[in-house]
Structure 1
Amino acid sequence: MHPPAVILLFHGSRDHQHNEQAKALAEAVGAGYAFMETEPRFAGEGLAIPMFIADGEDYRSALAAATVKSPPLLKWPGFVDYLRSLGAQLYIFHGPDTTGEVKATGIPAAFLYGEPNVDTAPCVDVAAPVVLTRGYIYKKIQERYGRCKAKLLPPLAEQPEFIKYLRETIPLILKYYAPQPP
């Protein structure tokens, strides 16, 4: 009997680039993939891990469907340290930060939606959009923070060190959050 397949469960988008990068990220860590909002949708088979940066409505929907009841990435071991290692002077999230979990990290943050807002965020030399892929949200951050001449770091899926981080951390997430056989 084979162990159940690990599936990274993403939001999904009408933005083809998001979906393709999500697929490539899953393949890079040896997992399958599924989406909440587009095909292929999660069919309930395997160990589905919700892949969301922070708590929010979309994360909670994915968590309800997922078989692995893990927290959002901000609460994964080492994730905030990984973000800090990027050396950005500003971290731009989708937002809003209704639960305060981004603020609790202590990293300098702005939000596409919410306060402090990206439209009024200070201009810095290096900013990190904290998004998984170069999809719609990354492009909106690029557009709205474009008033500044900052170097924008690539999305997490394009960072080899993030892929390494996932490869090392997914086994821990499965150990602590996957359903255990009786």
Structure 2
Amino acid sequence: MRIVIVLHGSRDPDYLSSVESFAKNVGVSYAFTSYSEPSINNVIGDIYIPLFIGYGKDYERAVAITGFETPPMLEWPYVRDFLLSLGPGLYVFHGENDPRFIDSVSKLSIQDIVFLKIEPMLEDYLINHCPGKVIPVVFTQGVIYKEISTVVRKSCSNTEVLKPLFELQEFITYFRNLLPWLLQNTRRVR
């Protein structure tokens, strides 16, 4: 069975390299909905897994394009335990005003969470606090990860910024172990 993970895409070469390396490590193909090649239209698979942190317009677009729906990462089994295994630290999400995204983040019941683009914002948090570690809850290198790193380094130069999830062996293992569940919980929507 040819499994294709589907991501948003980016022109950033670090993003593309991050996705390519992750896909190779977990034994799947990959495609993008925007900005990057290979485009979803150019990758043939038996099942397409839209791979997003949470609900939002990019997730909805990937589902519409592929005709497959998979719960985003914030809805995966044991995701809270996985994230907490990376801490203690400040967890940083990109941020989406979709109510389902906000609900998924609050269900994590993790105290130290901020966002890059919505309230409570990373930049505001760092005015008064410099955590020992920042955990970017993003899959790849690229624009969002780099922006999180820049904001942290500008305010808290001694704070450790973890690598993105695709580059953490812990996430690669978590994903491999979860792949059967993802396949069972991916459904056609057309």
TM-score normalised by L of structure 1: 0.91
1:103 is aligned to 106
For the pair 1:120 / 2:111, whether they are aligned, the reply is no
CA displacement 1:71-105 (0-9 Å, x = unmatched): 11010112221111101321001103532221221
Correspondence 1:59-138 to 2 at 5 A: 59-99=59-99, 100=102, 101-107=104-110, 108-121=112-125, 122-138=129-145
Distance in 1 (CA, whole Å) between partners of 2:32 and 2:80 is 25
For the pair 1:168 / 2:177, whether they are aligned, the reply is yes
Distance in 2 (CA, whole Å) between partners of 1:128 and 1:42 is 30
CA contact (8 A) 2:22 2:166 kept: yes
The amino acid across from 1:21 in the alignment is S
2:161 is aligned to 152
Which region of structure 1 is more displaced relative to structure 2, 39-48 or 126-135?
39-48
Give % identity.
38
**Structure 1 gap segments, 5+ residues each:** none
SS for the counterpart of 1:127 is strand
**Structure 2 gap segments, 5+ residues each:** none
Name the structure where helix makes up a greater proportion of residues: 2
Distance in 1 (CA, whole Å) between partners of 2:88 and 2:62 is 29
Task: List, as ranges, runs of 4+ consecutive aligned residues in structure 1 with deviation greater than 6 Å.
Answer: none
- Give aligned pairs, total: 176
CA contact (8 A) 1:93 1:111 kept: yes
Report the Cα offset of residue 55 of structure 1.
1.1
Distance in 1 (CA, whole Å) between partners of 2:168 and 2:85 is 12
TM-score normalised by L of structure 2: 0.87
For the pair 1:40 / 2:38, whether they are aligned, the reply is yes
Report the Cα offset of residue 26 of structure 1.
1.0
CA contact (8 A) 1:125 1:151 kept: yes
Distance in 1 (CA, whole Å) between partners of 2:67 and 2:21 is 21
